[in-house]
Amino acid sequence: MGRLSNKTAVITGAATGIGQATAEVFANEGAAVICADIKTEELQSTIEKIKNSGGQAEAFHVDVSSEASVTEFANEMKEKYGTIDVLFNNAGVDEQGGKVHEYPVELFDRIMAVDLRGTFLCSKYLIPLMLENGGSIINNGSMSGHAADLDRSGYNAAKGGIINFTKGMAIDYARDGIRVNSLSPGTIETPLIDELVGSKQEKMGKEFREANKWITPMGRLGQPKEMATVALFLASDDSSYVTGEDIKADGGIMAYTWPGKMLIEEDEWKKGTE
């Protein structure tokens, strides 16, 4: 407890999933949490949950893909708080788009606008609030930024861009006392997964989860709080000499080159997920 005491943390995409879990964990560690999202109703639920647990939290409606929305938000932060200590660029969208020659341009633009441009805009306009005292920036990457997914090249491009953008930011601001790292989750049990493949109750959703259990060395999907605790490490002084890094939290998926014996000895391997 208290690893973020007296710190102000901004979290985008805080209404659900990893963002919501991180807001709760940060608040429990003493941070005043600024929760930003476009999902107003869900965001209020996050705020109420934190306050009912004795934490500090405030909600702001922010569209991270809009420069006007982000600059307005940054001005409010400057006026109200003066400085911030932590920025978690977590907001993002994902959707299957097909092969490149079939990929809808508007979908590609939307994913790039929210995921990559949103990370850029929030960093650009909130970093000035960190220059005086330093701080920590965490960008939400993905294992999909390290390797490719079928029919999701736009998401791969955006997340790959975020991971390398993180390294550039880390170099730019190292002498200003601002550390910049990225967190690359694997497949995490969030509402986004429900949107992409279906819920646990739906046939496709069940099949997707079973397939991921099979192919993930740890034999299960990750939980939002497991990502939140990694973000906490990067936000706190526990990672004081860590910058320009990407931490993969994917249950081991990126640790192997091909399924190998998982395919050859399928029945034996699957027993580990039961």
Compute the distance between CA of residue 264 and CA of residue 258 in angstroms, rounded to an integer. 12
273 lies in some domain: no
Q: CATH number for the domain including 143?
A: 3.40.50.720
CA 180-47-229 angle, 5° bins: 40
Q: Establish if 269 belongs to a structural domain.
A: no
Question: Is 256 considered catalytic here?
Answer: no
Pick the catalytic residue: 81, 103, 125, 155? 155
Kind of pairing between the strands at 8-12 and 135-140: unpaired
- What is the DSSP annotation of the chain? --TTTT-EEEEES-SSHHHHHHHHHHHHTT-EEEEEES-HHHHHHHHHHHHHTT-EEEEEE--TT-HHHHHHHHHHHHHHHS--SEEEE---------SGGG--HHHHHHHIIIIIIHHHHHHHHHGGGTTTT-EEEEEE--GGGTS--TT-HHHHHHHHHHHHHHHHHHHHHGGGTEEEEEEEE-SB-SHHHHHHH--TTSHHHHHHHHHHHHHSTTSS-B-HHHHHHHHHHHHSGGGTT--S-EEEESTTGGG-SS-THHHHTHHHHHGGG-
Total domains, the chain: 1
SS (H, E, C) 230-266: HHHHHHCHHHCCCCCCEEEECCCHHHCCCCCHHHHCH
Provide the residue range defining the domain that includes 170.
8-200+222-258
Residue from 126, 44, 42 nearest 77 by CA: 126
Residue 208 domain-assigned? no
Domain assignment present for 128:
yes
Radius of gyration of the chain (CA): 19
In a domain, 122, yes or no: yes
Return per-residue pLDDT of the chain as tens, 274 residues: 699 999 999 999 999 999 999 999 999 999 999 999 999 999 999 999 999 999 999 999 999 999 999 999 999 999 999 999 999 999 999 998 999 999 999 999 999 999 999 999 999 999 999 999 999 999 999 999 999 999 999 999 999 999 999 999 999 999 999 999 999 999 999 887 887 777 778 888 888 888 887 889 998 899 999 999 999 999 999 999 999 999 999 999 999 987 777 777 767 776 666 5
Token duo for residue 41? 């109703």
Instruction: Provide the whole-model pTM.
Output: 0.94
> By the 8 A CB rule, do 39 and 16 touch?
yes
The answer as to whether 150 is a domain residue is yes
Q: Specify if 274 maps to a domain.
A: no
Torsion of CA 188, 191, 197, 200, to 10 degrees: 80
The answer to whether position 264 is within a domain reads no
Q: How far apart are CA 206 and CA 272, in angstroms?
A: 18
